[in-house]
Amino acid sequence: MLVLGIETTCDETAAAVVRVGAAGTGEILSNVVRSQVEDHAPFGGVVPEIAARAHVDIVDRVVAEALRQAGTGIDDLDAVAAAAGPGLVGGVLIGLTAAKAIALVAGKPLIAVNHLEAHALTVRLTDGIAFPYLLLLASGGHTQLLAVTGIGAYSKLGTTIDDAIGEAFDKVAKLLDLPYPGGPEVERRASAGNAGRFAFPRPLLGRPTADFSLSGLKTAVRLEVERIEAAAGGLGDQDIADIAASFQMAVADMVADRAKVAIRLFRERFGEPTALVVAGGVGANQTLKRVLGEKAAAAGLPLVVPPPKLCTDNGAMIAWAGAERLARGLTDPLDIAPRARWPLDAEAATIGSGRLGAKA
Ligand code: KG4
Ligand code: ZN
């Protein structure tokens, strides 16, 4: 089975071809990602209008390159998948429309993939992880702990009550005058820093729920930056490194504590998970992985994190999620609309769509 996947929900224009073998294992034949980071960098964040224009400019070439690298034509495909949301709707519209056009011309089924579901299922492509598993989904826009019990079967165990983790990394990077996107840069600076220099708060630590809060931590970083600037006239490289390291450690401690609670909630409601899984861009962070790995091991669970290239937005995860849905006969009509909002958990999803909420 060969599936083309197209991703345009944020600031990457991406396309990939994934092959699924008879045993259900996936193989990435191509995975082309054209990042728009340079287009957005001067603005310190993603500008929706610029993103949409950049997607229009390049999506056809990215798709053509993915097909070329995979050595396939559109007639060889079994289906065309595109992220249909959630995300910046101007961008989603472009990838989804490209997929519809290819599906129509080639006479192939269309699969409208939820971008979050694609992140959630990536470990089944990379590591063949079986259901059910506990997922920490941590990206620029989302922070959730979810029980993944099947395709389309997601139960939220915890979420952030304010900022997403990736967003907090990006905001702290801004406070430290580091370039966008902030996450990788904060991690790079932190590697030269002393994580014990600043005792930043670990919000909600020890609480019995698996929710997150990051705005207090971000405020503590801002106050520290202002204090140093007032005292010393500016931040030195060592100050930046120490703040980055101390912030990163506070996030890792908080995430590990929330994951511990989520493991307990998971076992109470769903039995034994096969693994603790991390997905989304923040999964690229090594300190987070180390601290979470220790927590998972203490609970007797393996920690499974896709390689960084498959944690951040890409087309392979869309193609794979499409293949998983196609194998279950879940295809979509050509008039399906893009969605700016599209929650993953069953209870919330039935309000808006009903589709992901339905047990598949
Ligand atoms: O999943 P993703 O590529 O896009 C979204 O769907 O949001 O995640 C991007 C987010 C950004 O906030 C970025 O700063 C963060 O993931 N990120 C990181 C790292 N790499 C990316 N955060 C911490 N450490 C990293 N190494
Ligand atoms: Zn994402």
* Nearest ligand, measured from the Cα of 165: 1
Instruction: Write the CA distances from 55 to 6, 42, 90, 318, integer angstroms.
Output: 11, 18, 9, 16
d(CA 29, CA 31): 7
Distance from Cα 158 to the centre of ligand 2, integer Å? 18
pLDDT at residue 354 greater than cutoff 80: no
For residue 344, is it within any domain? Answer: no
Asked if 106 and 252 sit in the same domain, the reply is no
pLDDT classification of 78: cutoffs 50, 70, 90:
very high
pLDDT digits (tens, 9 = 90+) for 195-231: 999 999 998 888 999 999 999 999 999 999 999 999 9
- Best probe residue, ligand 1, of 31, 121, 169 (max atoms within 8 Å of C-beta): 169
Structural domain boundaries, residue 22: 2-124+310-326
For residue 212, is it within any domain? Answer: yes
For residue 333, is it within any domain? Answer: no
Q: Is the CB of 247 under 6 A from ligand 1?
A: no
Closest ligand 1 atom to Cα of 115: 6
For residue 343, is it within any domain? Answer: no
d(CA 54, CA 34): 10
Asked if 265 and 178 sit in the same domain, the reply is yes
Structure letter (DSSP) for residue 142:
-
**Closest residue to atom 19 of ligand 1, CA basis:** 183
Which residues sit with Cβ closer than 5 angstroms to ligand 2, an ion? 139, 313
Residue 280 is predicted with a pLDDT of 92
Identify which of 270, 265, 257, 268 has the alpha carbon closest to the alpha carbon of residue 298. 257
pLDDT at residue 355 greater than cutoff 50: no
- Best probe residue, ligand 1, of 139, 189, 251 (max atoms within 8 Å of C-beta): 139
Instruction: Retrieve residue 208's tokens.
Output: 């019995």
Identify which of 133, 257, 278 has the alpha carbon closest to the alpha carbon of residue 203. 257
Residue tagged 């609480």 (tokens): 207
Instruction: Retrieve residue 198's tokens.
Output: 């600043």
pLDDT classification of 38: cutoffs 50, 70, 90:
confident
Asked if 172 and 274 sit in the same domain, the reply is yes
Instruction: Retrieve residue 258's tokens.
Output: 């929330």
pLDDT digits (tens, 9 = 90+) for 154-172: 999 999 999 999 999 999 9
For residue 348, is it within any domain? Answer: no
Residue tagged 């669970």 (tokens): 301
Residue tagged 């006239």 (tokens): 233
Instruction: Retrieve residue 133's tokens.
Output: 């598993």
Q: Is the CB of 152 under 6 A from ligand 1?
A: no
Structure letter (DSSP) for residue 154:
E
pLDDT classification of 360: cutoffs 50, 70, 90:
very low
Q: Is the CB of 285 under 6 A from ligand 1?
A: yes
Q: Is the CB of 181 under 6 A from ligand 1?
A: yes
Distance from Cα 247 to the centre of ligand 2, integer Å? 22
Q: What is the DSSP string of 250-261?
A: HHHHHHHHHHHH
pTM over 0.75: yes
Asked if 65 and 169 sit in the same domain, the reply is no
Asked if 298 and 316 sit in the same domain, the reply is no
Q: How many CA atoms does the CB half-sphere of 340 hold within 13 Å?
A: 4
Instruction: Write the CA distances from 67 to 77, 92, 117, 135, integer angstroms.
Output: 10, 20, 23, 31
d(CA 248, CA 250): 5
Average pLDDT over residues 226-250: 97
Number of domains in the chain: 2
Distance from Cα 14 to the centre of ligand 2, integer Å? 12
Residue 165's domain is classified under what CATH number? 3.30.420.40
Asked if 197 and 295 sit in the same domain, the reply is yes
Contact 117, 84 (CB under 8 A): no
Task: State phi, psi for 300 to the nearest 5 degrees.
Answer: 75, 25
* Nearest ligand, measured from the Cα of 116: 2
Q: Which amino acid is at 199?
A: A
For residue 351, is it within any domain? Answer: no
Q: Is the CB of 283 under 6 A from ligand 1?
A: no
- Best probe residue, ligand 1, of 312, 314, 342, 344 (max atoms within 8 Å of C-beta): 312
For residue 67, is it within any domain? Answer: yes
Average pLDDT over residues 120-134: 97
Tally of helices (H runs) and strands (E runs) in the chain: 12, 10
Q: Is the CB of 343 under 6 A from ligand 1?
A: no
**Closest residue to atom 23 of ligand 1, CA basis:** 183
**SS3 letters across the chain:** CEEEEEECCCCEEEEEEEEECCCCCEEEEEEEEEECHHHHHHHCCCCHHHHHHHHHHHHHHHHHHHHHHHCCCHHHCCEEEEEEECCCHHHHHHHHHHHHHHHHHHCCCEEEEEHHHHHHHHHHHHCCCCCCEEEEEECCCCEEEEEEEECCEEEEEEEECCCCHHHHHHHHHHHCCCCCCHHHHHHHHHCCCCCCCCCCCCCCCCCCCCCECCHHHHHHHHHHHHHHHHHHCCCCHHHHHHHHHHHHHHHHHHHHHHHHHHHHHHHHHHCCCCCEEEECHHHHCHHHHHHHHHHHHHCCCCEECCCHHHHCCCHHHHHHHHHHHHHCCCCECCCCCCCCCCCCCHHHHHHHCCCCCCCC
